Amino acid sequence: MSNSPEYVPPTVWHWNKENGGRFANINRPIAGATHDKDLPVGRHPLQLYSLATPNGVKVTVMLEELLALGRSGAEYDAWLIKIGDGDQFGSGFVAVNPNSKIPALMDRSGPKPIRVFESGSILQYLAEKFGSFLPTEPSARAECLSWLFWQMGSAPYLGGGFGHFYAYAPTKIEYAIDRFTMEVKRQLDVLDKQLANNEYIAGSEYTIADMAIWPWYGGLVKGWLYGGAEFLAVQDYTHVQRWADAIGERPAVKRGRMVNRVFGDLSSQLHERHDAADFDTQTQDKLTPQS
Ligand SMILES: N[C@@H](CCC(=O)N[C@@H](CS)C(=O)NCC(=O)O)C(=O)O
């Protein structure tokens, strides 16, 4: 591998398994299952297979918000998928998400199970199923979905671009860090300007757009991602800060952040969630319920 400026790409790229960097052990250029493994199924209508990364947290926050509204049909089992161990390449997981990435959802409430993958698609599916957090009035709905899709298109520049080259790449490449820092600061400014005039991302209502954007950009300005807060001068985005604090105070958001979390303070981790009471009874030796 060479990261030097004089690197000349070969005519045809070949997979070099030794290319290093964090996640090198799970990255590969081919799709599909690497091993046979069924997924567990719990007793609730919704089965979530996930991990508490920003993409995973979007969905557990939504489910906790729905339950807080009294939508009992949103009861769910949250199973832990350890992506560092390659669980996303098991045959059962690939059957739910052929793209081998968390989060993935199976809705078993009807006669035929329905699979849903891609976090934005899961949020929209749940919002439509339960008639919550997605406005029905056409212009408000369009605004909400526009911001939802903005997040889906923008976050790869933050995670795969800025986060990767600033925090994870085996060498620091000034060109790459500059390129993605510029874009992430532009994105933060987009959000800051929007939140200067709106309480929530899509207007006066809390919606799935907030749930999608908060774990990424809220987490970024709160200093939870990539150790990049000072570098990005996140304190300058005062409206994003105000909004991030407000969302973070919601009880359902606090619960949603804990589900499938395997890092950070032990008291913030609930490796699997099978019952609302799991949050209350959570102790160190009950982090991973045996089912
Ligand atoms: N666009 C996808 C991205 C999901 C994604 O990138 N998931 C990561 C964790 S945040 C993952 O599962 N990575 C495992 C892998 O790449 O093998 C979504 O929003 O659901």
Condensed to tens digits (0 to 9), the pLDDT of residues 189-207 reads 999 999 999 999 999 999 9
Please give the pLDDT value at position 222: 98
Low-confidence ranges of the chain (pLDDT < 50): 1-2, 284-286, 290-291
Q: In the chain, count of helices (H) and strands (E)?
A: 10, 4
Query: According to the model, what pLDDT value does residue 20 have?
Result: 63
What is the strand order of the sheet 114-117 is part of?
A: 76-80, 46-50, 104-107, 114-117
- Residue linked to tokens 């909004």: 243
97 lines ligand 1 (CB under 6 A): no
Structure confidence at residue 6 (pLDDT): 82
Query: What tokens does 174 get?
Result: 């000034």
What pLDDT digit, counting tens, does each position of 102-142 carry? 999 999 999 999 999 999 999 999 999 999 999 999 999 99
CB of 151 within 6 A of ligand 1: the answer is no
Residue 1 confidence (pLDDT)? 47
The pTM of this model reads: 0.94
At residue 149's C-alpha, the angle toward residues 145 and 125, to 5°, is 60
Angle between helical axes of 174-197 and 238-248 (0-180°, round to 10) = 70
From the list 52, 98, 116, the residue with the least C-alpha distance to 78 is 52
CB 278 within 8 A of CB 289: yes
Residue-level pLDDT at 286: 47
Q: Which is the closest atom of ligand 1 to the Cα of 86?
A: 17
Measured in Å, residue 51 CA sits from the centre of ligand 1 at 10
**pLDDT value at position 134?**
98
Distance from Cα 139 to the centre of ligand 1, integer Å: 30
CA of 66 to the centre of ligand 1 (A): 23
- Among protein residues, the one with the nearest Cα to ligand 1's atom 5 is 101
Cα separation, 98 vs 30, in Å, equals 11
Q: How far apart are CA 133 and CA 128, in angstroms?
A: 9
Give the pLDDT of residue 268. 95
Residue 162 is predicted with a pLDDT of 98
Q: Which atom of ligand 1 is nearest to the CA of 83?
A: 14
